[in-house]
Amino acid sequence: MATKAKIDVETRLAVEDFIYAYADCLDHGDIEAWPDFFTEDCVYKLISKENYDLGLPLGTIFAEKRGGIEDRVTSVTHTTVYHQRALTHLITNTRVLSDKGGVIEMTANYAVLETLPNQYTRILNSGRYLGRLVRQKDGPACLRIKELACVFDSALVPASIIYPI
């Protein structure tokens, strides 16, 4: 864990707003806008807590660079056949661990609820985000994800994880 440093309120609020906008894009927005949250040289992975804790790189979803993120969007929108579903991200305990040289290390807990037509809502996935955000320019609206690990709690993965978490 990063050393305890004083983080200004504006940075913390900017990170919270950014991660909420990220979730809103996945829940209610246009999935094709999802790559806009990332830098060109980004890394995104959905990985089990067990693999993460053991330092094993194998993830359920792994995308490198902006092209990998765009490939995930293409897979979701054009090649994968699945039932339409409603997703709801619940994000809590967002923390800024450090802010050095324009790189912000952050963490947050998440739970993603999934509702399919004519079915009860269920928990699709839960865990924590471990992220490195960078400022593209000055100001809170200019954050981008350089690295995001979605570390999920369960060793079991539903086959229905098609959308990013």
pLDDT in tens, 111-159: 999 998 899 999 999 999 999 999 987 554 689 999 999 999 987 777 7
Domains of the chain (ranges, CATH numbers):
9-152 (3.10.450.50)
CB 146 within 8 A of CB 20: no
Pair 79, 72: CB distance under 8 Å: no
DSSP assignment letter at 77: I
Higher pLDDT, 46 or 2: 46
Q: Is 0.75 topped by the overall pTM? A: yes
Q: What is the pLDDT of residues 47-78, one digit of tens each?
A: 999 999 999 988 889 999 999 999 999 888 88
| Dihedral sign for Cα atoms in the order 46, 47, 52, 55 | negative
Cβ contacts of residue 104 below 8 Å, gap of 6+? 11, 15, 96, 98, 132, 133, 134, 135, 143
Closest residue by Cα to residue 133 from 105, 108, 110: 105
Please report the pLDDT score of residue 2 as a whole number: 47
CA dist 46 and 117 (Å) reads 25
